[in-house]
Amino acid sequence: MTKKRARLLQGNEAVVEGAIAAGLTFFAGYPITPSTEIAELCAAKLPAIGGKFIQMEDEIASMAAVCGASLAGMKAMTATSGPGFSLKQENLGFAVKGELPCVVVNVQRVGPSTGMPTSASQGDVMQARWGSHGDHEMVALSPSSVQEAFTLAVESFNIAEEYRTPVILLMDEMIGHLREKVVLPEKEELVIRNREKPNMTPEQYKPFAMDHGEIAGVPPLAAYGDGFKFHVTGLTHGEDGFPTNNPAIAEKQLKRLNEKISSNKKALTRVEKFYMDDAEVVVFAYGGTARSARKAVKDARAQGIKAGMLRAITIWPFAEDALLEVKRNSPKAVIVPEMNLGQLVLPVKRVIGDSAPVIPINKIAGQLVEPEEILLAIKEAM
Amino acid sequence: MALSLDKYLRMSKLPHIWCPGCGHGIVTQAIVRAIDELGLDTDKTVVVSGIGCSARAPGYLHFDTLHTTHGRAIAFATGIKMAKPELNVIIITGDGDAAAIGGNHLIHAARRNLDLTVICFDNNIYGMTSGQYSPLTPQGSYATTSPYGMLEKPFDLCNLVMGAGGTFAARSTTYHARQLTNVIKEAISHKGFAFVDALSQCPTYFGRRNKLRTPLDMMNWFKDRSVPLRAWSKMSPEEQEGKFPVGVLTKTQAPELTEVYAQLVEKLQQRGED
């Protein structure tokens, strides 16, 4: 093992370190609490390594510039919070439709609207999934430690590049502003993936081909300026990228667009299982809230209670398979602590069904879900 | 002229979708002629558009082309240009796209003096949605959303760009096809943010509501109201009323953003080596 680099970092700072380690070369952003440190650190670091930083005139423009830079071959990122995330949705949809790899960090704060800008929330879980219009899949990852903010930033870029899709790094203010020890891995310890480039002539190149590409349904992506002279539009398009109203072509393309993610759910979905082997009560948690859940499970175990935590690392695609396993073990209860009014309760219920009661614990005004509250729920469920 | 412009066009995507008599073909041709006369590397030229009738032009042009969301073409193009400053980045926009929904991006790109060329296909109406008023619709004119005549004052986009710090602004019309090509050539050659207000006729949705039923009526309307810049400067405000200047209205030099950025990168990297 090479020499480790231990640092005391904030979650937002770790995201930038991870993004740069993954090959970030372009950042466009707009100031918004509680994500601003990400833009500030990119402004300081990117020019020094030959990367590009620009503070755009608004959130919409930041997302647009990220799409443009991605088409020019850059690994591009933007960062925001609730109100800005809402503004970015149209161009986020463009990135989905144009199949433009990029990373959007959302450090969640309390909403709706301007809400409580400096307080932690997990209220954008459903916005991450369905904020943009039309049928689409979305990949969203949620770190629960500063170390994981680093690793998931790398992972977000890898998934974006590999699947030609935007990826949302769904932080919460708790993790964004938390300072703790991080060990930055050496370059050679990291797996870095890059988008597949076309290996055919410009005449043969179809930027939205149905059957090209190493991963089924993910066509290679040329860069602007490389001589491919290709067209990208938000209009529904055929394999060549030009608009079509032909329902047969439109349906094929839209299915490919969705299935390149949905049919790879197994490869994309990440969970952590904590004391799950013999768990009689399961806490389903994610992001900052999983820290309290972990403590509650440890305390329960210390008292001889068989509790476990299933932590969703990918919020989307949803951890269906892991929950099906939970269902098969017929737990006494599945407890779902969230800093929202229970946005993931229904998706959990959809999988768990009647096999166990699903018990929400919700905080919506910026307070954290305390370990004691979860422990109490665990005990009540026993 | 025996010159063939076919190599700049995606011939398989033609004929275009524009209405008979629309001026957008003339403006598109002026762009293609300008690119040809300048001898731009077609592999290194990107054309970006927003939404609207004008936004369909890039689909017919054989370059790297990007048809973005409404109003955002300049913001997408900013990402492309910052990423790869060696590319020629041309933005095709409309008056609604550039002046209404995308107005913020226009003024900030001008302020930054980023080396982009913005050509506004200005038909002073929302054509794609069949004739609502835009911020460029002349006061008193009729549109589907100004059935009693346009109440608001229109923008002067060239003045707006100049006020925002743009270093190049020009205006021409489809009546002045040769001049239009020349100002577009100059705009593309200009190092820094360049804006061309290209007046284009929409007989279908503007003309027929405003007693300008034929394309010729509309082009004559451009001819009658346009004044060469030299004559314009000698006119009194009363004489200027209802008219507009054509030609290159401003052309100055100022540090360009990607060059300034490259200097910063160089400075920081030298410091890193020291």
Q: What is the per-residue pLDDT across B225-247, written as a single tens digit (0 to 9) for each?
A: 999 999 999 999 999 999 999 99
CB atoms A243 and B59 under 8 Å: yes
Tokens 């929409």 belong to residue: B202
Tokens 């005549």 belong to residue: B149
CB atoms B265 and A94 under 8 Å: no
Q: What is the mean pLDDT of residues A282-300?
A: 98
Q: Say if B122 falls within a structural domain.
A: yes
Option in B62, B67, B84 nearest A234 (CB): B67
CATH number reported for the structural domain that contains residue B237 in this entry:
3.40.50.970
pLDDT score of B4 = 87
CB atoms B79 and A28 under 8 Å: yes
ipTM of the complex: 0.97
CB atoms B82 and A91 under 8 Å: no
pLDDT score of B80 = 98
Q: Say if B57 falls within a structural domain.
A: yes
Q: Say if B8 falls within a structural domain.
A: no
CB atoms B66 and A231 under 8 Å: yes
Provide φ and ψ at A2, rounded to 5°.
Answer: -75, 170
Interface of B with A (CB under 8 A): 13, 42-44, 46, 48, 58-59, 62-69, 72, 75-84, 86-87, 104-105, 108, 261, 264-265, 268-269, 272
- Is the confidence at residue A153, as pLDDT, over 80? yes
pLDDT interval class at B2 (50, 70, 90): very low
Q: Say if B9 falls within a structural domain.
A: no
pLDDT interval class at A213 (50, 70, 90): confident
Please name the residue of chain A whose CA is at the shortest distance from the CA of residue B102: A61
What does the block give as tokens for A247? 């329902």
Contact B196, B43 (CB under 8 A): no
Strand runs labelled E in chain B:
45-49, 64-67, 88-94, 117-122, 168-173, 194-199, 226-228, 244-251
CB atoms B67 and A235 under 8 Å: yes
Q: Say if B5 falls within a structural domain.
A: no
Among A195, A204, A203, which Cα is nearest to A167's? A195
Contact B134, B120 (CB under 8 A): no
| Cα A14 to Cα A132, A189, B220, distances in angstroms | 27, 17, 63
- Is the confidence at residue A265, as pLDDT, over 80? yes
CB contacts, 8 Å: A87 with chain B: none
The count of structural domains within chain B is 1
To the nearest whole angstrom, how far is the Cα of A164 from the nearest Cα of chain B? Answer: 17
Q: What is the DSSP track for A25-43?
A: -EEEE---TTTHHHHHHHH
CB atoms B67 and A60 under 8 Å: no
pLDDT interval class at A234 (50, 70, 90): very high
CB atoms B83 and A26 under 8 Å: yes
What does the block give as tokens for A321? 């398979």
- How far apart are the C-alpha atoms of A46 and A39, rounded to whole Å? 10
Q: Say if B143 falls within a structural domain.
A: yes
Q: Say if B2 falls within a structural domain.
A: no
CA A64 and chain centroid, separation: 19
pLDDT score of B183 = 98
Q: Tens digits of per-residue pLDDT, A78-105? A: 999 999 999 999 999 999 999 999 999 9
Q: What is the mean pLDDT of residues B126-148?
A: 97
CB atoms B66 and A65 under 8 Å: no
CB atoms A68 and B77 under 8 Å: yes
Contact A320, A268 (CB under 8 A): no
Tokens 């170390």 belong to residue: A147
What one-character DSSP code corresponds to residue B200? -
What does the block give as tokens for B156? 């002067």
Interface with B, mutate which of A49, A59, A90, A233 (most B CBs under 10 A) = A233
Rounded to the nearest 10 degrees, what angle do helices A345-352 and A320-328 cross at?
50
pLDDT score of B3 = 67
- Is the confidence at residue B274, as pLDDT, over 80? no
Option in B68, B83, B104 nearest A234 (CB): B68
Q: Say if B13 falls within a structural domain.
A: no
The domains located in chain A, with CATH, are: 5-189 (3.40.50.970), 272-381 (3.40.50.920)
CB atoms B80 and A232 under 8 Å: no
CB atoms A232 and B62 under 8 Å: no
Option in B59, B65, B68 nearest A64 (CB): B68
pLDDT score of A211 = 87
Q: Tens digits of per-residue pLDDT, B158-179? A: 999 999 999 999 999 999 999 9
Q: What is the mean pLDDT of residues A292-320?
A: 98
Determine what percent of chain A is predicted with pLDDT higher than 70.
99
Q: What is the mean pLDDT of residues A249-277?
A: 97
Cβ contacts below 8 Å, chain A against chain B, sum to 131
What one-character DSSP code corresponds to residue B209? G
pLDDT interval class at A3 (50, 70, 90): low
Determine what percent of chain B is predicted with pLDDT higher than 90.
97
Burial class (CB in 10 A: 0-12, 13-18, 19+), B177: middle
pLDDT interval class at B215 (50, 70, 90): very high
Option in A64, A227, A229 nearest B79 (CB): A64
Interstrand relation of A307-312 and A271-274 (parallel, antiparallel or unpaired): antiparallel
B133 CB contacts (<8 Å, ≥6 apart)? B125, B126, B141, B143, B145, B146, B150, B152
pLDDT score of A1 = 43
Task: Classify each residue of A130-163 as buried b or exposed e, where b means 16 or more C-beta atoms within 10 Å of its C-beta.
Answer: ebbeeebbbbbbbbbbbbbbbbbbbbbbbbbbbb
Q: What is the mean pLDDT of residues A371-377?
A: 98
Q: What is the DSSP track for B247-270?
A: EEEEE-----HHHHHHHHHHHHHH
Q: What is the mean pLDDT of residues A12-30?
A: 98
CB atoms A56 and B86 under 8 Å: no
Please name the residue of chain B whose CA is at the shortest distance from the CA of residue A89: B69
The domain in which residue B65 lies consists of 18-273
To the nearest whole angstrom, how far is the Cα of A327 from the nearest Cα of chain B? Answer: 44
What does the block give as tokens for A57? 């005139």
Average pLDDT over chain A, rounded to an integer: 97
To the nearest whole angstrom, how far is the Cα of A295 from the nearest Cα of chain B? Answer: 44
A126 CB contacts (<8 Å, ≥6 apart)? A343
Contact A96, A167 (CB under 8 A): no
